[in-house]
Each structure stands twice: as C-alpha cells, then as structure tokens.
Amino acid sequence: MGEKGTSVHLFGRNVFVWLVAAFGSFLALAGCQTVGDLTTEAKAFVERAAAPSQPPAPGTEKPQTDALGQMEERIVRDINAIRERNDLAPLKPNAKLARVARNYSRLMAEQNFFSHTGPKGDSVADRVRSAGIFYLVVGENLAYVSGSKRPVEIAVQGWMKSPGHRENILRPVYMETGIGAWKKGNKIYYTQVFLTQVSLRR
C-alpha cells in the first residue's frame, strides 16, 4: 500500500457505547457482541463506563510543530470532503478530542508501539473518558507513515481502502472528531478519534 519506498501501517477500531438508562448508566458493545452475551471483558468495561469520570489528564495542548498542525487540519478537511461525497454531515473539530488524539500519537511515537491498547491497558474509550468527555459512541483510526512526501494523503487513502477504517469514516452517527499527529525520526503517527457526545446533566 502507498507509494514506492513508503511504509504505511493502519489500525482501526470502533467501540459502541449506548446510553441505556438516565444519569450515566452505560452498556458497552465491541465488535459483533450482542447485549445478551457479554464477555467478562465487556462487563468490566461496563462497570468502568458507569464510574465517575477522572479529571482531565495533562497533555499536549498544541501541535508538535506548525507543519503537523496543518496536517491535522488537512485530515479533518479531507475526511469531511469524503463524508460530503457520501451525503454525510461533516464532523465538527473538537479541541479536547484533538488533545486526546495528539497525546496518544505522541505516546506511540515515544514508546515505540502501535496499538489501540495503551501500555497501561487503556482503550480509546478510557482515554476519552479520562478527558472528561461523555459520549454515546466513540471510535478510533490509527496510522503511521514513513518515507513519504505525502503522508496525509497516504494515510487517508489507506484508511479508505481498509473496510474497518472506511466504516469509521463513513459512520453516520459520528458528529465530532479530533486529530493528533506526532513525528519521531522518519515516522509520523496519526490518531483520529470519532465521537458523538451526550449530556448527563439532570
């Protein structure tokens, strides 16, 4: 995948979290899991989802460089152009989500790993919740690109050629997004978080 001499790596996941009762009771579904057949892992996730949100974690408020900030903005534009061509509403940029995404791209770059699961076992849902964001549904696409003069184009094209990533990009329920890019050596890591928020105010 990608241009000659370019290495492109993709990873996509979506996590469904449905509000099933008032004032913060959640049910989490991952993959093809059904409500009546929750695994132990899913049940543990439900318990964590219902717990009070942690204070926002300290993190990277601004892009690593102006050039990477421009890349983040371009990904939002490119993804919204794709959604528009598919008769879907554009995703609204969310600064808090961008910080979550940027922190995770930085973590992957600095600790040399590439996975939806962080070193402490955290998921995208955990990371979003720790930022104080309540949601109905959240998803994540990951990529890193090395050796390309067109890293944004390569990453977005790669996502669109992968069924799971494409599904996240074209999921109608998503309303907001945050993009985070981080560079180390010749690798640029990209994290895109998709989300629909929910208000839990009484």
Q: Do the domain assignments include residue 113?
A: yes
* End-to-end CA separation in angstroms for the chain: 49
What is the value of pTM for the model shown? 0.73
Q: What is the pLDDT of residue 182?
A: 94
Torsion of CA 121, 159, 181, 175, to 10 degrees: -80
Considering Cα of 1, then 73, then 131, then 48, what sign does the dihedral take? Answer: negative
Q: Do the domain assignments include residue 51?
A: no
Q: Do the domain assignments include residue 82?
A: yes
Confidence of residue 60 (pLDDT cuts 50, 70, 90): low
> Mean pLDDT over residues 154-169, rounded?
89
Identify which of 47, 58, 32, 40 has the alpha carbon closest to the alpha carbon of residue 125: 47
Q: Do the domain assignments include residue 24?
A: no
Distance of CA 151 to the CA centre of its chain: 18
What is residue 175's three-state secondary structure? coil
List the beta bridge partners of residue 17. 28
Residue 142 backbone dihedrals phi, psi, to 5 degrees: -125, 150
> Mean pLDDT over residues 27-42, rounded?
25
Rounded Cα distance, 200 and 146, in Å: 42
Q: Based on the structure, what is the number of domains in the chain? A: 1
Rounded Cα distance, 15 and 56, in Å: 21
Q: Do the domain assignments include residue 80?
A: yes
Q: Do the domain assignments include residue 69?
A: yes
Confidence of residue 6 (pLDDT cuts 50, 70, 90): very low
